[in-house]
Structure formats: C-alpha cells, structure tokens
Structure 1
Amino acid sequence: MSRDRAQDKAEFAEFVAARSGALHRAAYLMVGETSLAQDLVQEALAKTYAAWPRLRDKGNAEAYARKAITTTAISWFRRKGWSHERSTAAPPDRATPGHADQVTQSAWLWECLLALPVRQRAAIVLRYYEDLTEAQTAETMGCAVGTVKSQVSAGLAKLRQQLGDDADVLPLDTLTTGR
C-alpha cells in the first residue's frame, strides 16, 4: 500500500471517529428512525470514502458527507412504496403535568416535524439544527437559495398550522429571522 493511500485511510478513519455522531444525529432528524439513520450514514460514509482522494480540502469532508446524507434521504423518500414515516392524523394529547408533559410535548413536536415532506424537513434540519446558512443549505441540498427559502417557509408554516395555539412552544419567530 502506498504511503498516500495509507495516509488517506488514516485521515478518513480519524474523520469518521470525530464526526460520525454528528452525522448520525442529522440523519436521524431527517428520517426519524435510528436504524434507517445508521444505514443512511453508512451509505454517505461509503460515498465520502470513495471521494476521499479527490477531496482537495479534507476540511470539507463533513459538508460532502452531509450532502450525501441529504440527497440520499430525499431519493429514498421519492421511491415508490417507501413508507417509513409514522405521521398521525392528530398530535397526541399533551395534558399530563411536569416532566411527563415535557416528554409528551417533545414527542408531539417530533411527530409534527416528521409529518413534513422530506425536503421541508431536510431544509429545516440543515438550517436550524445544523445551523447552516441558506447558501450552505442550498449547496447541501443541491438546489438554489430561493428553494431553501421556500422549503423552510412552507415547512414553518405547516408547523405553525399543526401547533395552532401552541406555536409558542418553538421559537418560530426567531427561526425566520436567522442567517
């Protein structure tokens, strides 16, 4: 094995050790299932490893892997018959007090997020969970900045509609004034 190839393998292993947790969290937020998120990260890491020798700046490896996660998730959702979403007609009742109320509220918000179409969910996750700019989100999703803006706007509008009078449980007003 050549020195360059051995160095590439070592650098990639270091990248995986350092960033796979963050990549898995982002994948989970996009697809909503642990095992599916693991599959998604593995596929993205395989694509990143294949491209590793061509990456000029290894500092961009995470952006490359995140883009692979996003585009793969979107393509999985577009396939006919793919039905891993667990959306419900109505959010669960949130009447229990204390900690149980917080857990129920979290699950309820999660169900609302999962009910969004995958591109809207991906745009919201990338913009507000991953804290990417609109331009970075557009690059990751492989679309125009205007598309990111419309996907985020439509997604937030649907979340506000689902949340109704409880829209104050999320800082939606501050989300729309982000970068």
Structure 2
Amino acid sequence: MADELDFDTWVSLRGAGLLRFAYLITRDHGRAEEAVQDALVAAYSRWSRIGAEPDAYVRRCIINADISRWRRFFRRETPVGDPDLLSSGPGADHAVTHAEKDAVWTLCASLPTRQRAAVVLRYYEGLPDAEIAEILGCSAGTVRSQIHRALASLRTTLSTTEEVTR
C-alpha cells in the first residue's frame, strides 16, 4: 500500500509536467494523453524497481511510445498551437507572439522524433547531456550530435525560408 501511495503522490505532483512534456514530443493532445497513460501503467507495474528518480524512466517511456506509434502507422503531422500550454506574458501582442510560436512549432515539428526529444529535453526541460542520454537510451555524445543536427536542420530551414521571402 505504501508503494501505491508513493506512486499516487508522485503522479499528482508530476502529472501535469509529464503531459506538457508529452505534448511537446507528440504535438497532439490525444497522443500525449495516451503516451502518458501508457508510461504511467508501465511505471506503476515496475514502481518498486524504478528507483528514487522515476522522471527519467517515465520520460523515456513517453518518447518510446511516440516512436512506436509512428513506426506502426503512417506519419501524419498536423502541428497545432495550444494557447493554454504556450501562453505569452502580460501586455504582449498576441498576434505576433502566436505567429512566432507557430513558426517555431512548425520548425520543431519537422524534426525527427529523437532530435525533437533531445531539443525539448535540453531547451525546454533544461536537462544536461547525461540525463538526456539516460532518457533517450544513448550516449551523451549521441545527444550532442542529435541536438547539433537538429539545430543545423533548423538553421538551414530558416535560411531557406528567409531567402524565399526576400
């Protein structure tokens, strides 16, 4: 019973953050909820073996769920901005803020899942390479190369877009 209470307490504290993380990875509310649910089911059954820091385990489960999903089905991306999750500060011009976030979101959605996950974990979650590597199940060097490739891809896309608009 103590393990159940610990799990329930942990979920109540981290559930919203995990859902936001899953949304950034999956780009869809329904898929994010499914990924979090699948991850929590897996975590619950292994709760006594996960250890003191289950965040990495559950994040890894969320990323794996999204990768598995697009491997099973044809990939159909429809990025949609969510004002509740990506709200702007007070006094900002909402149209400009929304346009900028939409542009960034569209760029990030074009990245492969593992690159997008590495970028989200680094720049949104603020995690160091070692923790990202643990979550993604790879080496810290691979994390750095994934982020490097993602940023290079984003730079190329931005420069191409700027040239077209000139």
Alignment TM class, shorter chain as reference: 0.7 to 0.9
What pairs up with 1:1-179 in 2 under 5 angstroms? 6-57=1-52, 60-79=53-72, 81-86=73-78, 98-164=93-159
- Secondary structure of 2:76 counterpart: coil
Unaligned runs of 5+ in 2: 80-92
Residue by residue, what CA displacement relative to the aligned partner does 1:135-158 show, whole Å, maximum 9, x if unpaired?
110110001111111110010111
Q: Per-residue displacement from partner, 1:101-143 (whole Å, max 9, x unpaired)?
A: 2211111110110011111101101111111111110110001
Sequence identity (%): 39
Deviations 1:61-85 (A, max 9, x none): 1221111112222222333x33232
Please say if residues 77 and 118 of structure 1, whose CA atoms lie closer than 8 Å, have aligned partners that are also in contact. Answer: no
CA RMSD of aligned residues (A): 1.8
Structure 2 residue matching 1:40: 3-state secondary structure: helix
1:174 match? none
Which amino acid counterpart does residue 11 of structure 1 have in structure 2? D
Structure 2: distance between partners of 1:100 and 1:62: 35
Q: How many residues align?
A: 149
| Larger Rg over CA atoms | 1
> TM-score under structure 2 normalisation?
0.83
Q: Which runs of 5+ in 1 are unaligned?
A: 1-5, 88-97, 168-179
Q: TM-score, normalised by structure 1?
A: 0.77
